[in-house]
Amino acid sequence: MLSKKIGIDLGTSSVTVYVKGEGIVLREPPADDRAGPTLQRVIGRVIGRQRIFRPDVMLSVPGAVTGVERRAVLEATMQAGAKSAYLIEKPLAAAIGAGIAIASTDGIAVCDLGASGAEAAVIVQGEMVTFAVIRAGGERLDQAIVQAVAARHGVAIDRREGERLKLELGRALAPERGRARVAQAKAAGGGEVSIDAAEVHAALAPLLDELVRGLEEVIGLTPPAVAPALARNGLVLSGGAAQLPDLDRFLGGRLRLPVVVARNAQACVATGTGLALDNLQMIRRGQHYIT
């Protein structure tokens, strides 16, 4: 048997592993220190007892990762048993995982919207020409709901309940007046409180505006020659939080671009990270690998 090709996405809310030929084989919450032990455990589980053929491993890293951090992650991956270790920036991985032929694109925007925030980039011919981190991710949406419930009802709910309300009632576009659905949330001190979708929307709106501003900035920094291609190809969303209902229509309206949510949005980064092992010439141009 040949050595496995493994893509690993060390996300804030989940570690996701893609194995070439098998697909997503693992998704679980990360341990506290995400570089060393988590990598050991995850790689160990994927390769099992068969340790003769060590795997090629690609890891996704934040677009703004420093050289020191790159080196630390690469070394931890080698120590965990990899034959070779490579890094790829999350927006590039997200785009590959979304099925975009990044090497030949004349200009497309991608935004991976995870738990901790969003990473957005414009990609032209395999390279990120603009990049930004936007601090409006799923966890801040949850917190905004928690705060809104406290402010309007004087009731404390925990973050999990905030997330549950988001998943149950959250939408990027305002619900029609008088037609907002209602859900119950458990108060931290016991008892329940009734929340409607209009309240949830009002809590999310400022963060969605922040997301729009961040995306406008990334798109605004694009070289003018790329603008026509961008207007045509638009924005692709990935990440768990990209699944917020109506987010595509909301962003499309505000940015005046075609916006789509990738299929299997939450797995795009991990999938693209694994698939990138088949396109190493792209990665080798940078200094982000050890063999």
Ligand X SMILES: Nc1ncnc2c1ncn2[C@@H]1O[C@H](COP(=O)(O)OP(=O)(O)OP(=O)(O)O)[C@@H](O)[C@H]1O
Taking the least distance from each CB to ligand X, the nearer of 55 and 137 is 137
Which residues have C-beta within 8 Å of that of residue 237, sequence separation ≥ 6?
Answer: 110, 111, 112, 113, 247, 248, 251, 259, 260, 261, 262, 265
Taking the least distance from each CB to ligand X, the nearer of 63 and 138 is 138
Taking the least distance from each CB to Mg ion, the nearer of 63 and 114 is 114
Q: Does residue number 117 form part of the binding site for Mg ion (CB under 5 A)?
A: no
13 binds, among ligand X, Mg ion, none (CB under 5 to 8 A by kind): ligand X
Span near Mg ion by CB under 5 A; candidates 10-18, 32-40, 124-132, 199-207: 10-18
Taking the least distance from each CB to ligand X, the nearer of 69 and 106 is 69
CA atoms 82, 83, 89, 95: torsion sign:
negative
Identify whether the C-beta of residue 245 lies closer than 8 Å to the C-beta of residue 172.
yes
CB of 11 to Mg ion, least distance (A): 4
CB of 259 to ligand X, least distance (A): 15
The full DSSP string for the chain is: -PPPEEEEEE-SS-EEEEETTTEEEEEE---SSTTHHHHHHHHHHHHTT--SSPPEEEEEE-TT--HHHHHHHHHHHHHTT-SEEEEEEHHHHHHHHTT--GGG-S-EEEEEE-SS-EEEEEEETTEEEEEEEE---HHHHHHHHHHHHHHHH-----HHHHHHHHHHH--SSPPPTT---EEEEE-TTSSEEEEEHHHHHHHHHHHHHHHHHHHHHHHHTS-GGGHHHHHHH-EEEESGGGGSTTHHHHHHHHHTS-EEEPTTGGGHHHHHHHHGGG-HHHHHTTT-EE-
Taking the least distance from each CB to Mg ion, the nearer of 11 and 126 is 11
Residue from the set 7, 11, 117, 162 that interacts with Mg ion by CB under 5 A = 11
Taking the least distance from each CB to ligand X, the nearer of 127 and 246 is 246
Residue from the set 107, 114, 137, 272 that interacts with Mg ion by CB under 5 A = 114
CB of 45 to Mg ion, least distance (A): 20
97 binds, among Mg ion, ligand X, none (CB under 5 to 8 A by kind): none
Q: Does residue number 63 form part of the binding site for Mg ion (CB under 5 A)?
A: no
CB of 189 to ligand X, least distance (A): 24
Taking the least distance from each CB to ligand X, the nearer of 14 and 233 is 14
CB of 14 to ligand X, least distance (A): 5
Residues found near ligand X in the complex (CB under 6 A): 11-14, 114-117, 137-139, 163, 166-167, 170, 239-241, 243-244, 266
Residue nearest to Mg ion (CB): 114
282 binds, among Mg ion, ligand X, none (CB under 5 to 8 A by kind): none
Q: Does residue number 137 form part of the binding site for Mg ion (CB under 5 A)?
A: no
Question: Which amino acid would we find at residue 30?
Answer: P
Interface contacts to Mg ion, rule CB under 5 A? 11, 114
